[in-house]
Protein backbone atom coordinates (compact mmCIF):
# COMPACT_ATOMS: atom_id res chain seq x y z
CA UNK A 1 0.00 0.00 0.00
CA UNK A 2 0.86 3.69 -0.06
CA UNK A 3 3.57 4.82 2.35
CA UNK A 4 3.07 8.47 3.37
CA UNK A 5 5.42 10.52 5.52
CA UNK A 6 4.91 14.07 6.71
CA UNK A 7 7.59 16.39 8.10
CA UNK A 8 7.92 18.06 10.47
CA UNK A 9 5.54 16.54 13.03
CA UNK A 10 5.40 19.83 14.95
CA UNK A 11 6.13 23.36 13.79
CA UNK A 12 6.10 26.56 15.82
CA UNK A 13 6.39 29.96 14.12
CA UNK A 14 5.92 33.60 15.01
CA UNK A 15 2.90 35.37 13.60
CA UNK A 16 3.75 36.74 10.18
CA UNK A 17 6.40 34.12 9.44
CA UNK A 18 6.05 31.44 6.76
CA UNK A 19 5.48 27.72 7.37
CA UNK A 20 6.30 24.80 5.10
CA UNK A 21 5.16 21.19 5.55
CA UNK A 22 6.39 18.40 3.31
CA UNK A 23 4.67 15.14 2.37
CA UNK A 24 6.42 12.24 0.65
CA UNK A 25 4.56 9.28 -0.84
CA UNK A 26 5.44 5.98 -2.48
CA UNK A 27 2.65 5.17 -4.96
CA UNK A 28 3.56 6.64 -8.34
CA UNK A 29 -0.07 6.07 -9.48
CA UNK A 30 -1.34 8.78 -7.10
CA UNK A 31 -2.77 11.69 -9.08
CA UNK A 32 -4.42 13.85 -6.43
CA UNK A 33 -2.57 15.71 -3.67
CA UNK A 34 -4.68 17.44 -1.01
CA UNK A 35 -3.98 19.13 2.29
CA UNK A 36 -6.54 19.03 5.11
CA UNK A 37 -6.72 21.24 8.19
CA UNK A 38 -8.14 19.96 11.45
CA UNK A 39 -8.83 22.36 14.28
CA UNK A 40 -9.09 21.01 17.80
CA UNK A 41 -12.23 18.94 18.25
CA UNK A 42 -13.37 19.47 14.67
CA UNK A 43 -13.48 17.42 11.49
CA UNK A 44 -10.72 17.64 8.85
CA UNK A 45 -11.48 20.04 6.00
CA UNK A 46 -9.78 20.49 2.67
CA UNK A 47 -7.80 23.71 2.38
CA UNK A 48 -6.00 23.22 -0.94
CA UNK A 49 -5.36 20.47 -3.45
CA UNK A 50 -3.47 19.89 -6.67
CA UNK A 51 -3.72 17.35 -9.47
CA UNK A 52 -0.79 15.66 -11.12
CA UNK A 53 -0.80 17.75 -14.29
CA UNK A 54 -0.02 20.93 -12.34
CA UNK A 55 3.18 21.87 -10.48
CA UNK A 56 1.91 24.62 -8.21
CA UNK A 57 -1.37 26.10 -7.02
CA UNK A 58 -1.92 29.17 -4.89
CA UNK A 59 -4.94 30.43 -2.95
CA UNK A 60 -4.27 33.68 -1.13
CA UNK A 61 -1.81 32.87 1.68
CA UNK A 62 -1.59 29.15 1.05
CA UNK A 63 0.07 27.26 -1.80
CA UNK A 64 0.85 23.68 -2.70
CA UNK A 65 3.79 22.58 -4.81
CA UNK A 66 4.22 19.15 -6.37
CA UNK A 67 7.30 17.25 -7.50
CA UNK A 68 5.97 14.04 -9.08
CA UNK A 69 9.42 12.81 -10.07
CA UNK A 70 10.64 12.93 -6.48
CA UNK A 71 7.20 11.94 -5.14
CA UNK A 72 6.67 14.75 -2.70
CA UNK A 73 4.42 17.77 -2.32
CA UNK A 74 4.49 20.64 0.12
CA UNK A 75 2.11 23.04 1.83
CA UNK A 76 3.27 26.65 2.09
CA UNK A 77 1.57 29.17 4.38
CA UNK A 78 2.75 32.77 4.25
CA UNK A 79 2.03 35.61 6.68
CA UNK A 80 0.85 33.12 9.30
CA UNK A 81 -1.88 34.13 11.72
CA UNK A 82 -2.92 32.60 15.08
CA UNK A 83 -6.01 31.09 13.41
CA UNK A 84 -3.68 28.99 11.22
CA UNK A 85 -2.82 27.00 14.38
CA UNK A 86 -4.15 23.48 13.74
CA UNK A 87 -3.10 20.01 12.63
CA UNK A 88 -2.45 19.64 8.90
CA UNK A 89 -2.68 16.33 7.03
CA UNK A 90 -1.67 15.29 3.56
CA UNK A 91 -3.53 12.42 1.85
CA UNK A 92 -2.18 11.55 -1.62
CA UNK A 93 -4.49 9.41 -3.72
CA UNK A 94 -7.11 10.10 -6.37
CA UNK A 95 -9.17 8.04 -8.76
CA UNK A 96 -6.36 5.60 -9.48
CA UNK A 97 -6.43 4.22 -5.94
CA UNK A 98 -10.07 3.08 -5.88
CA UNK A 99 -10.93 5.75 -3.34
CA UNK A 100 -8.41 4.49 -0.82
CA UNK A 101 -6.56 7.39 0.80
CA UNK A 102 -3.64 7.10 3.17
CA UNK A 103 -3.26 10.06 5.48
CA UNK A 104 0.03 11.33 6.81
CA UNK A 105 0.49 11.39 10.59
CA UNK A 106 -0.13 15.13 10.70
CA UNK A 107 1.81 18.29 11.48
CA UNK A 108 0.82 20.39 14.47
CA UNK A 109 1.34 24.04 13.56
CA UNK A 110 1.41 26.62 16.35
CA UNK A 111 1.47 30.30 15.42
CA UNK A 112 2.59 32.45 18.34
CA UNK A 113 1.20 35.99 18.45
CA UNK B 1 -27.47 19.99 1.59
CA UNK B 2 -26.68 18.42 4.97
CA UNK B 3 -23.41 17.00 3.59
CA UNK B 4 -22.17 14.02 5.64
CA UNK B 5 -24.04 13.23 8.84
CA UNK B 6 -23.08 10.80 11.59
CA UNK B 7 -24.96 9.46 14.58
CA UNK B 8 -24.51 9.23 17.46
CA UNK B 9 -22.13 12.06 18.42
CA UNK B 10 -21.05 10.30 21.61
CA UNK B 11 -21.33 6.69 22.76
CA UNK B 12 -20.13 4.68 25.76
CA UNK B 13 -20.07 0.91 25.45
CA UNK B 14 -19.09 -1.90 27.75
CA UNK B 15 -16.57 -4.47 26.57
CA UNK B 16 -18.29 -7.12 24.47
CA UNK B 17 -21.26 -4.99 23.43
CA UNK B 18 -22.03 -4.40 19.76
CA UNK B 19 -23.33 -1.30 18.04
CA UNK B 20 -23.69 0.41 14.68
CA UNK B 21 -22.37 3.85 13.83
CA UNK B 22 -24.53 5.51 11.20
CA UNK B 23 -23.26 7.58 8.29
CA UNK B 24 -25.25 9.22 5.51
CA UNK B 25 -24.44 11.66 2.70
CA UNK B 26 -26.71 13.59 0.35
CA UNK B 27 -24.15 14.59 -2.29
CA UNK B 28 -24.58 11.47 -4.45
CA UNK B 29 -20.93 10.55 -3.89
CA UNK B 30 -19.83 7.11 -5.03
CA UNK B 31 -16.95 6.77 -2.60
CA UNK B 32 -17.37 6.51 1.17
CA UNK B 33 -14.86 5.66 3.90
CA UNK B 34 -14.59 5.10 7.63
CA UNK B 35 -11.56 6.32 9.59
CA UNK B 36 -10.59 6.17 13.21
CA UNK B 37 -8.49 8.82 14.91
CA UNK B 38 -6.80 8.07 18.20
CA UNK B 39 -5.68 10.97 20.44
CA UNK B 40 -2.83 12.94 18.86
CA UNK B 41 -2.75 10.62 15.88
CA UNK B 42 -3.60 10.66 12.22
CA UNK B 43 -6.57 9.09 10.46
CA UNK B 44 -6.44 5.38 9.81
CA UNK B 45 -8.69 3.81 7.18
CA UNK B 46 -10.99 1.06 8.49
CA UNK B 47 -13.19 0.20 5.49
CA UNK B 48 -14.15 1.92 2.28
CA UNK B 49 -16.64 1.60 -0.56
CA UNK B 50 -16.58 2.70 -4.19
CA UNK B 51 -20.30 2.21 -4.73
CA UNK B 52 -23.43 0.44 -3.54
CA UNK B 53 -22.75 -3.25 -2.98
CA UNK B 54 -18.95 -2.85 -3.05
CA UNK B 55 -16.81 -2.64 0.08
CA UNK B 56 -13.18 -3.34 0.88
CA UNK B 57 -10.86 -3.38 3.86
CA UNK B 58 -8.56 -0.56 4.80
CA UNK B 59 -5.56 -0.48 7.10
CA UNK B 60 -7.30 -1.48 10.38
CA UNK B 61 -10.43 -3.56 9.57
CA UNK B 62 -10.36 -6.10 12.40
CA UNK B 63 -13.37 -5.95 14.71
CA UNK B 64 -15.48 -3.90 12.26
CA UNK B 65 -17.98 -4.75 9.53
CA UNK B 66 -19.55 -2.54 6.87
CA UNK B 67 -22.20 -2.81 4.20
CA UNK B 68 -23.33 -0.43 1.46
CA UNK B 69 -26.85 -1.19 0.28
CA UNK B 70 -27.53 2.36 -0.97
CA UNK B 71 -25.40 5.21 -2.31
CA UNK B 72 -26.39 7.39 0.66
CA UNK B 73 -25.69 5.15 3.66
CA UNK B 74 -22.54 3.44 4.94
CA UNK B 75 -22.98 2.04 8.48
CA UNK B 76 -20.07 0.73 10.53
CA UNK B 77 -20.71 -2.17 12.88
CA UNK B 78 -18.61 -2.96 15.93
CA UNK B 79 -19.03 -6.67 16.51
CA UNK B 80 -17.75 -7.04 20.09
CA UNK B 81 -16.40 -3.78 21.50
CA UNK B 82 -12.94 -3.72 23.08
CA UNK B 83 -11.16 -0.89 24.98
CA UNK B 84 -8.70 -0.67 22.04
CA UNK B 85 -11.60 0.59 19.92
CA UNK B 86 -11.94 3.73 22.03
CA UNK B 87 -11.44 6.45 19.44
CA UNK B 88 -13.09 9.15 17.34
CA UNK B 89 -14.69 7.74 14.20
CA UNK B 90 -15.06 9.81 11.05
CA UNK B 91 -17.07 8.94 8.00
CA UNK B 92 -16.15 10.64 4.71
CA UNK B 93 -17.45 10.73 1.16
CA UNK B 94 -15.94 11.86 -2.11
CA UNK B 95 -16.60 11.98 -5.81
CA UNK B 96 -14.21 9.75 -7.75
CA UNK B 97 -11.70 9.66 -4.87
CA UNK B 98 -10.94 13.38 -4.85
CA UNK B 99 -11.87 15.91 -2.13
CA UNK B 100 -13.16 14.09 0.94
CA UNK B 101 -16.04 15.56 2.92
CA UNK B 102 -16.01 14.45 6.55
CA UNK B 103 -18.86 14.00 8.97
CA UNK B 104 -18.68 15.58 12.44
CA UNK B 105 -17.38 12.39 14.04
CA UNK B 106 -18.53 9.94 16.72
CA UNK B 107 -16.60 9.87 19.97
CA UNK B 108 -16.66 6.27 21.25
CA UNK B 109 -15.49 5.11 24.66
CA UNK B 110 -15.31 1.41 25.52
CA UNK B 111 -15.00 0.58 29.21
CB A49 within 8 A of CB A102: no
**A35-56 confidence digits (pLDDT tens):** 999 999 999 999 999 997 789 9
**Does A100 reach chain B within 8 Å, measured CB to CB?**
yes
Strand partners, B109: B12
Return the DSSP state at A52.
T
**Distance between A4 CA and the closest CA of chain B, angstroms:** 11
CB A71 within 8 A of CB A26: yes
Q: Which of B42, B104, B105 lies nearest to residue A104, judging by beta carbons?
A: B42
Measured between beta carbons, the chain A residues lying within 8 angstroms of B30 are 99
Q: Do B48 and A89 touch (CB under 8 A)?
A: no
What backbone phi and psi angles, to 5 degrees, belong to B84?
A: -65, -10
With b for 16 or more beta-carbon neighbours within 10 A and e for fewer, the B59-88 pattern comes to bbbeebebbbeebbebbbebeebeeebbbb
pLDDT values of chain B reduced to their tens digit, one per residue, 111 residues: 889 999 999 999 999 999 999 999 999 999 999 999 998 889 999 999 999 999 999 999 999 999 999 999 999 999 999 999 999 999 999 998 899 999 999 999 999
Amino acid sequence: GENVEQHPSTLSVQEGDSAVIKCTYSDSASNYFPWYKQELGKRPQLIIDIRSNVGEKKDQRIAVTLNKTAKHFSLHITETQPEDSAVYFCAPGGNTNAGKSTFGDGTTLTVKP
Amino acid sequence: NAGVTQTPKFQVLKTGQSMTLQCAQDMNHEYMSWYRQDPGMGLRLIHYSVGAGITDQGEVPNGYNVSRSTTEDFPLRLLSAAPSQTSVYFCASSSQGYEQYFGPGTRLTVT
